[in-house]
Chain A
Amino acid sequence: MIHAVKYHPTLELLEQYIEASLAPELSLAVAAHLDLCPHCQRIKMDLEAEAGAALINLPEADSTETDWQQMLSFITAQPEVAVKLEQRQPFSLQIQNSEILLPASLKPLMQNKLKWLNLGGISTAKLAGEDQHNVSLLYIRKDSEVPQHTHLGLEITLVLKGKIYDESGCYGEGDLLINTPDHTHTPRTMSEDCLCLSVLTAPLKFKKGLTRLLNPLQHLFY
């Protein structure tokens, strides 16, 4: 079902993720990767166990006895709430005329109908994002190339379906690519269409000519 994931988030990124220090949009990409990657699921649980152990080894921070008593009485006076453990199920979505199975993490962002912008072989639909962060789906038809570009910020791409290639390798389902500002790349597809989740922390800057033509792309991506 899932191809062996080759490209994972670094431990550092996972550590920031499990303690919620990472920007939420970046956390979303990590969460969706986790849905697809048993290896990182295990590391996530291990890191959380370590953080839990660190928590109980912290020296106690005091408050007055009254403060604690008030808090305790307030809490135990609260009614029980109905709780159920959620199932983490992938869901399917009609994208560009094909039914594609997507990781559960993305579901909350898919409540509205996707608005696709198309240009050449590439289509994007923005899912979320404000300020400095942007989350979108990127659908690249087969034999298409994304013009060479660099990033002003961090770009995280998670392959959801198909394969994408760049100067450093081939990425399949579940693979997470992280590109920093000093990294130029030209992603392309070969014989199959590719769907990616893309998280950008700042707009792209395209390197090669045809600036005027590529300007619309800027809007596509960001």
Chain B
Amino acid sequence: MTHATPVVEVNGLTKRFGNVVALDDVTLSVQPGAITGLLGRNGAGKTTLMQTITGQDFATSGDVRVFGEHPVENARVLSRVSFIKESQKYPDEFRPKHVFRCAPWFYENWDAEFADRLIDDFQLPVNRRIKKLSRGQLSAVGVIVGLAARTPLTFFDEPYLGLDAVARQIFYDRLLADYAEHPRTVILSTHLIDEVANLLEHVVVIDKGRIIMDESAETARDSATTIVGPRSAVEAFIADRTVLHREGIGGLASVTVDRLDADERRDAAAAGLELAPVSLQQLIVRRTNSTTTEFGADS
């Protein structure tokens, strides 16, 4: 699978808005048939990257290929792509039923029956004017389109603003079940990392316009360990390792370092130290030098 032709190839992509560098020399390739998480803080460049990949924005420099072609105004590419974003605009008089009626004109794999089931799941009032929908109902419209379109390449950009925890779980469950039956390439951008961590096969983390992590979710999960124990013992053990995070209380220290191998884990245990796993969310918080409240907070 690692040798398959990438669905998305981004090479040396830079995007400037005036003096602001939104994307800084980004190089990335997305393998087909996987769910990739595009994770990062607000303003890190997630949306700009996806907009450039889908041809809605122009690169300042660098190259973008989707299905091997340039995406900008390229119907061969864009007919196979859907991009669900939180700020989707619809014509003023539209009701959800109009959106779902138009969808098959754009998406050849559109599954109307699946869309109907999702409408029930999300209890979406299809006859109400879009303008009158709640924030969560509006998000549900986008989520339903993104799932039922079954495009070979689907982007979900923070698709669930206003959706409560129950509705988000419905989204994750339906995405997983439908993806299992109809494999396709999904790029899911979110700051709710804990919620989606187990759904992801691959993880890309962007921070200040740069890619700082691009690896399998399994590798990422395994890439750091927290060592807990008496301060002196912990300090002696970590010696000159790179420290990702350090905290402590009284004589107790808790230090997060890069992955330990089996021998090192045994040494740590022998020294009376406890090893604790680091969740994907904690890892990203550490690597982006941000605070926990920036991730996982309901927006």
Q: Do A and B bind each other?
A: no
Report which A residues bind B (CB closer than 8 A).
none
